[in-house]
Amino acid sequence: MTAWVLGQIVHLLHPVMPFITEELWQQFGGDKAGMLMVSNWPDMSPGLHDPEAAAEMEWVVAAISAIRGVRSEMNVPPGAYVPYLTRDVDVAVGRLLDRNRDHLLRLARVTPMEAAGVVAGGIQVVVEGATFILDLGEVVDLAREKARLAKEIERLDANIAKLATKLANPAFVAKAKAEIVDEQREREADARRDRDRLKAAYVRLEAV
């Protein structure tokens, strides 16, 4: 492997391994090399880009992210492996899924179910070209989780109403410092976003 190739690899690794790659860079180029952190990003040949491979990895990342999002919404224990089925899988996506199944199982922490059919406590996760059915009834008390979500949504609704009332008060907006008003608006926006996310999770559970 040439020094040039090693240098490109060190460049690509630098964002995730800054200290050791900086040291390696100095070993490659000596004092004239300068600091790796301020050097130009590698200008790779267009011929090295594989659009199909990139699209495949984007799908895998999207699928894993979608499943992780549902796990987080439903308060699934981080270490728990959730049984799953797939439905409505496109032919091309099926081949893609076969090639990347190990990544999915490990990074999304799921395990395939042997028997197909209706899953009690199944939550649908729809991605492009496929639908995953997660059997959360195996790892989560669904009734308890639904009650928890309802309580949290109620708390957020109350907080939103309080913030909205404050921001609708002309006296508060006129007298408070601009940064305080902006902070309250950000808090209201964050609360609304969290409330909407939990409501979506609640709707998923109601459909079970």
Domain assignment present for 45: no
Whether residue 153 sits in one domain with residue 91: no
DSSP string, the chain: --HHHHHHHHHHHTTTSHHHHHHHHHHHHGGGG--GGGSPPP---GGG--HHHHHHHHHHHHHHHHHHHHHHHTT--TTPPEEEEEES--HHHHHHHHHTHHHHHHHTTEEE-SS-S--TTEEEEEETTEEEEEEGGGTS-HHHHHHHHHHHHHHHHHHHHHHHHHHT-HHHHHHS-HHHHHHHHHHHHHHHHHHHHHHHHHHHHHT-
Residues 80 and 99 occupy one common structural domain: yes
Tally the domains of the chain. 3
Q: Which of 88, 105, 138 is the last residue of a domain?
A: 138
Last residue within a domain, chosen from 120, 138, 156: 138
My answer on whether 27 and 84 are in the same domain is no
Residue-wise pLDDT tens digits, 173-198: 998 999 999 999 999 999 999 999 89
One domain for residues 123 and 85: yes
pTM, 2 dp: 0.69
Q: Summarize the confidence of residues 167-176 as an average pLDDT.
A: 91
End-to-end CA distance of the chain: 55
Which is higher by pLDDT, 114 or 68? 68
The domain containing residue 195 runs over which residues?
Answer: 142-206
Question: pLDDT digits over 105-163, tens only?
Answer: 999 999 988 766 556 668 888 899 999 989 888 788 888 888 999 999 999 999 999 99
188 in a structural domain: yes
Same structural domain, 159 and 130: no
**Cα separations in angstroms, 115 against 83, 89, 118:** 11, 16, 10
| pLDDT average, residue stretch 52-67 | 93
